[in-house]
Structure 1
Amino acid sequence: MVRKFSIILAIVFMVFMTACTNKSSVDSKDGTNTESAGKNDGFLASKKPVEKTIFLHYNDGGVIFDDDWPTFKQAAKETNVTLKGVAPKTSTNSTEAFNLMIASGSIPDFVMDKKENLNKYGMEGAFLPLEDLIKKYAPHIQKYLDDMPEIMKISQASDGHLYYMPFIADGVAAEGWYIRKDWLDKLGLQVPQTVDEFHDVLKAFKEKDPNGNGKQDEVPFFTRINNRIFDLASLWGGFGDFHLDGDQVKYGPYEKEFGTAMENLAQWYKEGLIDPEIFTRGGNSRDVLLGNNTGGATHDWFGSTANYNTTLKDQIPGINFVPFAPPAAPNGKRVEPTRRSPFNNFTGVAIGYKTKDPVVAIKYLDYFFTKEGRRLMNYGVEGDTYNMVDGKPVLAQKVLSSSDIPGALRAVGAQIMFAYQQDFDYEKQWTNDIALKGEDEYAKNDYFIKELPALNFTQEEEKVNNDIGPQIQTYTDEMMQRWIMGAEPVDFEKYKKHLEELGIKDFIKVHEDAYKRYLNN
């Protein structure tokens, strides 16, 4: 089946390349701009109403384009372009859905997906290069490219072309450390400042009955997602992915600090300081452990985590779950392993090579980089999900009263992964003061790890990543779980040697080479 799939892809992309022999520029000779609107037509992308297709399918079916989304119906009124979704609504595997679409050779007018896929198949002819189209017909996008040169550095493919317009995130702080301050007060303890103090606090939570029910049922540290165990590793300077140490590229799980972290976490788990079900409890752990008054500390998103003080105030009188600064590692450094960056989602929207009128297509995308289009994608339709108050968009009460505010906006087509810039003010409207204070503290003190920027890889480098990366990730995850749960003692040298057998040095080298190109770009 793999061989057959490869043959199909080869035939499909021969067709792509034939159809796109002059893909580096688009002009009237290509049959474009036959019905596109002019400079004086406002936001219209086309003089006549047109329908274009879109593939938008992510989070394994959690978000699939809906033809009835009010946000995109409003965009159709403004631009004269109506979108029709073609992603399979029954599919629960976004990667599989994308691959099947590509293999079919029937590329829609617009495709939303991850950067690596859009660039890979863009270079093979599936998607149009956008830079010339943008320069000629998309002034609002061009302004973004001029004002944010990082867009090109991060988004363009290794052949120098820009094949998609990205989703641009907003904000600085993403996640932080949270602790039950009401439990600290009851036990006469202070907010921990170091990893050793954090250990002692968690031990007290385990042994001294801070929830007052006479049982030793407290779960000192818990987390929602398995790989968040890497967050705990940062307390000893261990990290779960690539990052920068100065200008040196480092892969966290290959560094000695990672081994030190695993030894300590195995001990914490043995002492009962870490949720015994940390690898199996799943995404509702916050709801369960905070809801039954047994959870003591976690590391998670600021906004949603602080909201438990409101949602549980009647159920657990006095609950005070607050953010605190990252506990200092043994080297004295406080490091937060997550942060927001404008392009940390690495997704966007490409234009398919078969689109009838690329000028209409790029003008349509340009609308979402206007003030009005950006507001539409962030807040939805005025009078429905938001209202203008003193010149600013304010979310409607029906949205603010929802238990899942981002979900309520996604239900109308706003706040989805598309091509536009997010507005962090939308989140501030439903983030309580506790979370905002925590976010401000993290940003003011710049606790964040120095991230490796989103890199562009050559096809050869991408092959190394695809061949080696998953093996390394699988092996690391497996060993991390075995070590922490005590299935075998931590032998970091043995683990490191196996990483080298898997090709870790080649894996690191392609990232070093790509980072050098990034610096020289």
Structure 2
Amino acid sequence: MKKIALILFSIFMLLIGGCSNNSASSDVDANKNSESEKGLTGFQVSKEPIDLKIHLHHFDGQVIFNDDWTTFKKAAELTNVNLKGVAPKTSTDSQEAFNLMIASGEIPDLVHGTKADLTKYGKEGAFLPLDDLIEKHAPNIKKYLDEMEGLKEFATASDGNLYFIPFIADGKAQKGWFVRQDWLDKLGLKTPQTTEEAYEVLKAFKEKDPNGNGKQDEIPYFSRIPESLGDLTILWGAHNDLYLDGDKIQYGPYEEKYSTALSGLANWYEEKLIDPEIFTRGAKARDILLGNNQGGMTHDWFGSTAGYNDLLKDQVEEFKFETFAPPQNTEGEKVEPTVRDPYGDKAGIAIGYSTEDPVKAIKYLDFFYTEEGRRLMNYGVEGETYDLIDGKPVFKDEILSSPDVPTTLHEHGSQTLFSYHQDFEYEKQWLNPIALKGIEEYTANNYFAEPLPPFTFTEEEEKKIIEIAADLKTYRDEMMQKWVMGAEEIDYEKFKNQLKNLGVEEYIELHQKAYNRSSEK
């Protein structure tokens, strides 16, 4: 299927490539129907109702645009633009659905996709460059691009054009530390404050039967995401990837501290303080180990992890899974290595090259960057999913009482990965109080590591970085697993030499150059 799609796309690109000139096409296309309509009121984009087609298919078919979504029906009432979904309803592979749409050459008016896909095919002519359209017809999007730090840099392709309008996440806290408070209480232990204390707590969980079943079956530290074991390197002052040190870009695994961190994790694993199946247990690790009253500590997303306090309250007696501050690492710092990136979903909406009216399309997208449009995408339709109380949207009880609020909102079209700015206040309304407490603590104390800024690369730099990054990640993850599990003795000099052979120094240098360019603006 993928080979067929590639052949079809190659033919499509040959057909449109010869007449495509991205630097000028936005001006040409914008003039097709760019005459300003007089007599528009409110948020209207057109005097008469019009239809635009959209391809929106993500989470492998869990969210596919539905013409009956009330959020977008309300947007149609306000703008006179009605969206018609064209993504296949039966597909369970979002990437394949996108590839087939591209290969067909029938690009709809609006297309949801990843930054990588939308910029790649935008540069090849499938999507319009939006810079001029935004400058002339989208004042709300323009305001975001001008005022929101890093947004323009993130969204701009290596050829200097902007081919999509991103989804922008809100909030700062992402992951945090969780520990079985009921186990601490039973064993008379305090919440760990340092890396050494965390070790002692895990050791007690392993040896002192906190679940009280007479067996040594506790799993002191567990994770549903094997790669997230890299987050724990911060306990020894190390980093698992690129990070910002002052104004210098560094690559954590290329530093001696990484060897120390992996040695520490290997010791924990050898002592069975880390789940022996951490690399294979998979996404159900929390369900299994917490549900079986075996899991003791983890580092995971605040919202979903705190939710187990509600899910298991009738299943596990006295169950308490509480958040706690990052343990002070061996360098005397409390650092949370993850932070919610506003552009971390790396997705948004592009405008197809053959749309009949690019101006109306960009004006429609601009609506979602108004206060009204943003509220609509975050909360849904007033009177249906929320009420305005003292000027603030408050979800109705039937929304808050649903077992999965985000999924319930998706059924109305809200909180989808469209193009708008998320509002973290929506999340606060349904988060477990334990999650809120953790988020507030991490945010108030600013435990977060300095996030990397969005980088803008030249086309040549981008190709090289993609090539090197894949090799570095594969080798790093492979060696982490071998070292932690004890399958191979740690030989850091050999590891460092191989990173060098894979191009790590050029990788760092290219990011440093991009960072310097951004800093000079």
Q: Is the shorter-chain TM-score for this pair beyond 0.5, marking a shared fold?
A: yes
In structure 1, give the amino acid aligned to 2:476.
T
CA contact (8 A) 2:30 2:358 kept: no
Counterpart of 2:514 in 1: which secondary structure?
A: helix
Q: Residue 214 of structure 2 corresponds to which residue in structure 1?
A: 214
Change in Cα spacing, 1:460 to 1:112, as seen in structure 2 (3 Å) is same
Structure 1: segments with no counterpart, 5+ residues? none
Whether 1:273 aligns to 2:273 is: yes
The answer for the alignment partner of 2:303 in structure 1 is: 303
Moved more, 253-262 or 401-410: 253-262
Q: Which amino acid letter does the alignment assign opposite residue 443 of structure 1?
A: T
CA distance in 2, matches of 1:8, 1:281: 39
Q: Within 5 A, what are the aligned runs for 1:274-423?
A: 274-423=274-423
Q: Given that residues 346 and 454 in structure 1 are in contact (C-alpha distance below 8 angstroms), is that contact kept between their aligned partners in structure 2?
A: no
Map of 1:438 onto structure 2: 438
The answer to whether the Cα contact below 8 Å between 1:242 and 1:451 also exists between their aligned partners in 2 is no
Task: Judge conservation of contact 2:224–2:284 (CA < 8 Å) in 1.
Answer: yes
Secondary structure of 1:490's partner?
A: coil
Change (3 A) 1:488 1:310: same
The correspondence of residues 55-66 of structure 1 with structure 2, limited to 5 A, is 55-66=55-66
Contact 1:17 1:125 in 2 (8 A): no
Q: Compute the TM-score of the two structures, normalised by the length of structure 1.
A: 0.94
Quick check: 1:71–1:381 contact (8 Å CA) kept in 2?
yes
**Pair 1:457–1:13, CA change in 2 (3 A):** farther
5 Å-filtered alignment, 1:500-519, equals: 500-519=500-519
Change (3 A) 1:267 1:38: farther
Distance, in Å, in 2 between the alignment partners of 1:94 and 1:114 is 11
Deviations 1:7-59, CA, capped at 9 Å, x for gaps: 9537616614614466364378831236x654742112122222212222223
* Stretch of structure 1 that moved more, 96-105 or 67-76: 96-105
In structure 2, distance between residues paired with 1:447 and 1:208: 32
Aligned to 1:91: 91
Work out the CA distance in 2 between the residues paired with 1:29 and 1:456.
26
SS at match of 1:210: coil
Structure 1 window deviating more from structure 2 (263-272 vs 58-67): it is: 58-67
Q: Aligned ranges for residues 127-206 of structure 1 at < 5 Å?
A: 127-206=127-206
Aligned residue for 1:473, secondary structure, equals helix
Unaligned runs of 5+ in 2: none
Matched, 1:116 2:116: yes
Structure 2 counterpart of 1:26 = 27
The aligned amino acid for 2:32 is G
For 2:107 and 2:259, locate their aligned partners in 1 and report how far apart those are by CA, in whole Å.
46
Q: Report how far residue 4 of structure 1 moved.
A: 9.8
- Of stretches 393-402 and 183-192 in structure 1, the one that deviates more from structure 2 is 393-402
1:403 counterpart SS class: coil
- Aligned partner of 1:430: which letter? W
**Contact 1:23–1:128 (8 Å) recurs in 2:** no
What displacement does 1:120 show? 2.7
Distance 2:260 2:83 in 1: 52
Match of 1:253? 253
Partner AA of 2:458 in structure 1 = T
Over 3 Å counting, the alpha-carbon distance change for 1:39 and 1:295 in structure 2 is farther
Aligned length, in residue pairs: 520
In 2, are the aligned partners of 1:13 and 1:124 still within 8 Å (CA)?
A: no
Counterpart position of 2:496: 496
Contact 1:172 1:339 in 2 (8 A): yes
- The CA deviation string for residues 206-241 of structure 1, in whole angstroms up to 9 with x for no partner, is 110111121111111111112111122221123232
Deviation digits for residues 69-108 of structure 1 (CA, Å, limit 9, x no counterpart): 2222222222122222233334333333333333333222
Task: Determine if contact 1:125/1:353 at 8 Å carries over to the other structure.
Answer: yes
Q: Which residue of 1 aligns with 2:449?
A: 449
Paired with 2:22 and 2:432, the residues of 1 have a C-alpha distance of: 54
Inter-partner Cα distance in structure 2 for 1:105 and 1:428:
42
| Alpha carbons 1:138, 1:362 under 8 Å: kept | yes
CA separation in 2, counterparts of 1:122 and 1:520?
A: 28
Q: CA RMSD of the aligned region, Å?
A: 2.3
Return the alpha-carbon distance in structure 1 between the equivalents of residues 470 and 104 of structure 2. 26
Q: Is the 8 A contact 2:5 2:99 kept in 1?
A: no
